[in-house]
């Protein structure tokens, strides 16, 4: 099979081609290196969306009954779908509600899914653990999560926000929580407090 290559006839053309390849490589490298910044911005946007929803409607997002309420999954689709709540001015997030997991997830265009959790202020690393906010909880906070992200991205986010260079595959404390498996994992960013009295879980 013949390979069709450009007809480079001068040193100038060769230099231009080399420069173009170098620029392309640099742009790709920058995009790859900037992934943690992009994910951080999206996590912050999710937390801001939950806050704006509360400001507009006077209501906090509620825990969904689509899965075990003890996990503390919030109805993130309420930020996307107008369900007739007075004051709603959404959509508050640029995601599609085409995830098969009903109310606890929304599809993410670059990864797999995004979710909002409300957890007690204890150690935890993932949504599917029974430390969601209850009416009897001393204190709770909302967290925004995205998965599947690479282990490198999750650890870099942890380093940037919590200032901890942790090379373990999980971190259960701090503002950033993550849990990494063979194919990637979940990374979460903790935000504002959530009033336990507003939890639907006794």
List Cβ neighbours of 75 (8 Å cut-off, separation of 6 or more).
61, 62, 63, 64, 103, 104
User: What are the tens digits of pLDDT across the range 37-52?
Assistant: 999 999 999 999 999 9
Each residue's pLDDT tens digit, 93-107? 998 887 765 678 898
Is pLDDT above 50 for 5? Answer: no
Please give the model's pTM, rounded to 2 decimal places. 0.82
Tens of pLDDT along 130-188?
999 999 999 999 999 999 999 999 999 999 999 999 999 999 999 999 999 999 999 99
CA gap 74, 188 in Å, rounded: 14
- By CB atoms closer than 10 A (0-12, 13-18, 19+), residue 196 is middle
% the chain with pLDDT above 90: 73
Q: What is the share, in percent, of the chain residues with pLDDT greater than 70?
A: 82
């Amino acid at each position: 099979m013949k390979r069709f290559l450009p007809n480079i006839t001068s040193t100038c053309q060769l230099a231009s081609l080399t420069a173009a390849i170098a620029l392309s490589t640099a742009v790709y490298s920058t995009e790859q290196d900037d992934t943690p910044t992009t994910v951080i911005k999206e996590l912050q946007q999710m937390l801001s969306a939950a806050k704006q929803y509360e400001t507009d409607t006077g209501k906090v997002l509620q825990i969904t009954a689509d899965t075990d309420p003890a996990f503390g999954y919030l109805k993130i689709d309420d930020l996307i779908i107008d369900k007739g709540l007075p004051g709603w001015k959404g959509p508050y997030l640029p995601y599609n509600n085409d995830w098969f997991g009903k109310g606890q997830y929304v599809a993410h265009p670059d990864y797999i899914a995004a979710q909002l959790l409300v957890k007690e202020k204890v150690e935890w690393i993932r949504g599917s653990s029974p430390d969601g906010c209850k009416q009897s909880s001393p204190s709770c906070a909302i967290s925004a999560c995205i998965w599947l992200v690479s282990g490198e991205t999750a650890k870099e986010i942890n380093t940037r926000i919590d200032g901890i260079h942790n090379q373990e595959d999980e971190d259960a404390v701090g503002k950033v929580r993550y849990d990494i498996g063979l194919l990637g994992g979940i990374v979460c960013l903790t935000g504002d407090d959530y009033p336990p009295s507003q939890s639907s879980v006794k």
